[in-house]
Structure 1
Amino acid sequence: MKTILYKAESRGHANHGWLNSCHSFSFANYFNPERMNFGALRVLNDDTVSAGRGFGTHPHSNMEIISIPLEGDLKHMDNMGNSTVIKKGDIQVMSAGTGVEHSEFNNNRDSLVKFLQIWIIPDKQNVTPRYDQISIEDIKVKNKLYQVLSPNPEDQGVWIHQKAWFHMGDFEKGQSESYSFKLEGNGIYIFVLDGTLSVNDTELNTRDGFGIWDTNSFDITATSGAKFLIMEVPMEF
């Protein structure tokens, strides 16, 4: 088994006034050649956007982009004709493929919006752009891992063009579970949203990231109440 621990305070940081962002991997003006990606996981941004502010229209191509709101409401518009609001309890996916333009704004005038922006390098180039979002409130399970993303359109959660699986957990103190990899050769990146976890005896705190690969399974225990995201991705792509 191989592992890597990225403490919360080691992340890149950019404060633009209206946007406060922490970068787990190199992004925009934050460049660290040792932290370019974790396998196919290219971007993990922890964003806070001021009331009424946001990202103007900008392009993407050949990337799978996932947004997970943690607080507040995020307005999305794109040149595919989508105009939606995603909120805590939702997950959004956009396959940029041959090219898409979109904007994202805090939909509220009196409160912050906080969300994770995640980019996954796809296993197919130049696909037809697509958009989807779902509520994960109906599939959420306390004290058990629940799947929110996979490569299979018929599976629970959203799907992307990559052999990747995302699970979320909302565990009470002392709750444990074992995770078995879906695909040989994949790696796992765990991101702690809140609380503390022990993963194979490694202690993780809020906003810590922990990568695991070259193994088939691992154990995870909440050492306090904990909310977290597990991202299984190919290590070679």
Structure 2
Amino acid sequence: MLLELEDVTAFYGPVQVLEGVSLAVPEGGAVGVLGANGAGKTTTLRAISGTVRARGGIRFDGRDIRGMRPDKVAALGIAHVPEGRGTLTDLSVRENLRVGAYLRKDRKGVAADIDYCLDLFPQLQHRIRSNGSALSGGEQQMLAIARAVMSKPRLLLLDEASLGLAPGTAKTVYEAIGRLRTDAGLSMLVVEQNANLAFTLVESATVLETGRSVLTGSTAELRGMDEIRRAYLGG
């Protein structure tokens, strides 16, 4: 397994938010994390990327990364696209992409990957000189994903990539993420409220309730469960 979480707890100050979360992402695989608001989905990603205090086992490629600084986690090949996108609004689209590659030394490779990202998200090509603040919500989401890709990660942590987007835009974003998997064999851990969208991308998912992982299964298994259809699939 590329990523393994075992009995992970996490805290905001003295408040415990996660209580025994376990999941795994195989090399080249995509795993979803489902749950209601407040279930601990975002905190799970933050525990992996080192931005909240955590206990338990968090291993990446066999290495214990729990408690590691976020910049060190990123340097190992984990890119986190946070909820809210985190666009650098005072920088242009091209400058945002270059920021994503700040750890890289291969200038030709960086230039080639900028071209790839603009091909992946053609709308950004037309806004290449625009500041992040001038972009629509969908364009900002595309830019956030593209900026993460520029770091050439092995694992992409995606937090609510469809949040606040029109259905057509969300579909476009997920189609591009799917192409990323095909082109680069990128491993992904996908937090998503819209399970129908998530299930177009992931092979399996873990369901969280009040900070605990309560169910894990393949997308086919989860689609077949009445309680999952009612809660997450609109069925």
Higher relative helix content: 2
TM-score by length of 1: 0.32
Which of the two has greater strand per residue? Answer: 1
